């Protein structure tokens, strides 16, 4: 592998340039900005690898960029990535233009550089390096690069239903991964599900002079009252049936939690807060993080929100609710329970819309791909990775992998302060180059695994 690694080091500038070019192109699925341009850019790169890429229709969503490459063994490894990114706002909290991909202090700073363009380019670069040095790949490779991950992959079910053969693989390397806040590599063996809902209340036909508030309904109050019935101050979700399918951790899972390093102080410092909710710490905190669902107000807008005072009665109010689900919660069922609860509590007037449901998913601890990723992490990074039973985040692991019995595992170029979804998103250049090598090592090692 040393010859491939030397080639990667010699061509580092090319890979960095390609990543910057990817980051210069905004691709915000939530706002429909730059999506076609970005899909074409990914397609062109896959074409240059000889992957015969195509834009696969998803019946109403942004297309999946799909490509395949034949290799020396009959084993197949798929890479799941996404070409969309989060919106960049609040813009005034960025130290440099989120689309400039500025290099500063050994890092690249850009919206999407960690989530997920750094990993997409690392995987392309790994293939290119293998091809250049050896003329062939050790196994068959598939690229599944979707365009709606940041809005909850609403059309990826269609893709998987229409093209199960495109999903078929012996294992999958998931889109994200990398080091924790202390630089230790991490492996995640699952994802949380998500049920993301927009709630809307309406009052008068527009914002009105607030003097009429004596007798005119206020949609902001309606929404505050409705939300206050969803979760109590002890963080207990009050929607009847919400916890019914939540599975407590097994003894094996609890044992994994015990081995997760204590990064609480660093996390608190990074977040800028004094303590975790309800003073949680240790294994209790880890159980909450990895085995408990959430119910989060992600946004709330009503009335006048500028400087100073404006005495209005709002005409509308809107809230976004982000519920992260754990095995075996079903996002469609959770949405139904939410709607039923609102109706029963007298909030039938509040409109709800389900945006991007996602199922939770889990890969078993002893899956071959988990072993391969762990061993190669240890060899390349000089440290054993920390294994997490699930990521705290969400994604379409179920659609692309679990529903077909495909094991998946994370491996990537991020780090504990990559600021995914936040201002000043970044990755270290050294991690990016190491991540390219890691993909080469994973391909070599997984090609050698005996079929079960």
Binding mask 29-58 for a second copy (x = CB under 8 A): xxx---------------------------
Residue 4: CB minimum distance to a second copy, A: 33
User: What does the alpha-carbon distance between residue 88 and residue 75 come to, in Å, rounded to a whole number?
Assistant: 39
Residue 70: CB minimum distance to a second copy, A: 37
Helix (H) or strand (E) holding 208: strand 208-209
What pairing do the DSSP bridges indicate for beta strands 208-209 and 312-313? antiparallel
- Region from 74-82, 225-233, 333-341, 380-388 binding a second copy, contact rule CB under 8 A: 225-233
Residue 45: CB minimum distance to a second copy, A: 27
Residue among 417, 418, 416, 413 at smallest CA distance from 433: 413
Q: Does 410 bind a second copy (CB under 8 A)?
A: no
Q: Does 26 bind a second copy (CB under 8 A)?
A: no
Residue 297: CB minimum distance to a second copy, A: 4
Cβ atoms < 10 Å from Cβ of 64? 29
Q: Identify the DSSP state of 113.
A: I
Q: Does 89 bind a second copy (CB under 8 A)?
A: yes
Rank residues 32 and 106 by Cβ distance to a second copy and give the closer one: 32
- Region from 57-65, 210-218, 363-371, 398-406 binding a second copy, contact rule CB under 8 A: 210-218
The secondary structure of 21-88 as a DSSP string is: HHHHS--BGGGTBSHHHHHHHHHHHHHHHT---EEE--SSSPPEEEEEE--SSS-EEEEEEE--B---
Q: Does 280 bind a second copy (CB under 8 A)?
A: yes
Rank residues 117 and 437 by Cβ distance to a second copy and give the closer one: 117
Q: Does 234 bind a second copy (CB under 8 A)?
A: no
Binding mask 324-353 for a second copy (x = CB under 8 A): x---------------------x-------
Among the listed residues 113, 227, 237, 260, the single contact to a second copy using CB under 8 A? 227
Rank residues 39 and 197 by Cβ distance to a second copy and give the closer one: 197
Contact 286, 255 (CB under 8 A): no
Is residue 73 exposed (0-12), middle (13-18) or buried (19+ Cβ within 10 Å)? Answer: middle
Residue 193: CB minimum distance to a second copy, A: 12
Residue 139: CB minimum distance to a second copy, A: 32
User: What does the alpha-carbon distance between residue 286 and residue 386 come to, in Å, rounded to a whole number?
Assistant: 13
- Region from 47-55, 58-66, 124-132, 193-201 binding a second copy, contact rule CB under 8 A: 193-201
User: What does the alpha-carbon distance between residue 362 and residue 329 come to, in Å, rounded to a whole number?
Assistant: 12
User: What does the alpha-carbon distance between residue 192 and residue 194 come to, in Å, rounded to a whole number?
Assistant: 7
Site for a second copy in 122-151 (CB under 8 A): 150-151
Which residue's structure tokens are 């991964």? 177
Among the listed residues 21, 134, 288, 371, the single contact to a second copy using CB under 8 A? 288
Q: Does 228 bind a second copy (CB under 8 A)?
A: yes
Q: Does 215 bind a second copy (CB under 8 A)?
A: yes
Helix (H) or strand (E) holding 421: none
What pairing do the DSSP bridges indicate for beta strands 102-104 and 107-109? antiparallel
Identify any residues that bridge with 140 across adjacent strands, giving them in sequence order: 76
Q: Does 188 bind a second copy (CB under 8 A)?
A: no
Tokens for 129, please give them: 């390096």
Q: Does 304 bind a second copy (CB under 8 A)?
A: yes
Among the listed residues 100, 133, 246, 393, the single contact to a second copy using CB under 8 A? 393
Residue 305: CB minimum distance to a second copy, A: 4
Q: Does 246 bind a second copy (CB under 8 A)?
A: no
Among the listed residues 54, 207, 266, 444, the single contact to a second copy using CB under 8 A? 207
Residue 344: CB minimum distance to a second copy, A: 14
Residue among 376, 394, 393 at smallest CA distance from 445: 376
Classify each residue of 423-436 as buried b or exposed e, where b means 16 or more C-beta atoms within 10 Å of its C-beta.
bbbbbbbebbbbbb
- The alpha-helical segments, DSSP class H, found in 354-452 are 368-381, 397-400, 429-447
């Amino acid at each position: 592998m040393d010859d491939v690694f030397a080639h990667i080091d010699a061509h580092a500038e090319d890979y960095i340039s390609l990543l910057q070019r990817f980051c210069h192109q905004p691709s915000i699925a939530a706002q429909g900005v730059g999506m076609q341009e970005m899909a074409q850019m990914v397609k062109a790169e896959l074409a240059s690898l000889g992957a015969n890429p195509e834009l696969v229709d998803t019946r109403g969503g942004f297309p999946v960029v799909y490509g395949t490459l034949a290799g020396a063994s009959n084993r197949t490894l798929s890479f799941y990535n996404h070409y969309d990114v989060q919106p960049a706002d609040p813009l005034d909290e960025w130290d440099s233009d989120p689309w400039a991909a500025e290099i500063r202090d050994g890092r690249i700073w850009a919206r999407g550089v960690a989530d997920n363009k750094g990993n997409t380019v690392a995987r392309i670069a790994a293939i290119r390096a293998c091809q250049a040095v050896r003329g062939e790949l050790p196994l068959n490779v598939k690229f599944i690069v979707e365009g709606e991950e940041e809005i909850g992959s609403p059309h990826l079910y269609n893709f998987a239903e229409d093209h199960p053969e495109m999903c078929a693989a012996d294992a999958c390397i998931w889109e994200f991964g990398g080091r924790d806040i202390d630089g230790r590599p991490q492996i995640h063996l699952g994802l949380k599900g998500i049920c993301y809902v927009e709630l809307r209340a309406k009052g008068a036909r527009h914002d009105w002079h607030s003097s009429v508030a004596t007798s005119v309904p206020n949609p902001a109050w309606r929404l505050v009252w409705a939300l206050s019935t969803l979760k109590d101050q002890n963080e207990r979700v009050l929607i009847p049936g919400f916890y019914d399918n939540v599975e407590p951790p097994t003894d094996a899972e609890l044992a994994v939690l015990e081995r997760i390093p204590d990064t609480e102080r660093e996390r608190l410092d990074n977040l800028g807060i004094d303590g975790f909710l309800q003073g949680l710490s240790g294994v209790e905190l880890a159980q909450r993080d990895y085995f408990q669902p959430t119910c989060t107000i992600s946004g709330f807008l009503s009335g006048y929100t500028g400087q100073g005072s404006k005495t209005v009665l709002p005409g509308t109010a809107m809230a976004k609710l982000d519920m992260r689900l754990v095995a075996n919660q079903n996002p469609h069922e959770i949405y139904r329970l939410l709607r039923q609860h609102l109706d029963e509590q007298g909030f039938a007037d509040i409109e709800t819309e389900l945006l991007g449901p996602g199922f939770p998913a889990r890969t078993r601890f002893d899956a071959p791909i988990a072993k391969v990723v762990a061993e190669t992490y240890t060899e390349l990074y000089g440290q054993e990775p920390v294994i997490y039973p699930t990521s705290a985040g969400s994604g379409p692991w179920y659609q692309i992998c679990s529903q077909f019995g495909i094991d998946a595992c994370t491996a990537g170029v991020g780090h504990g302060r990559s600021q995914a979804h936040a201002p000043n998103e970044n990755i270290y250049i050294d991690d990016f180059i190491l991540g390219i090598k890691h993909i080469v090592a994973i391909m070599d090692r997984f090609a050698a695994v005996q079929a079960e």
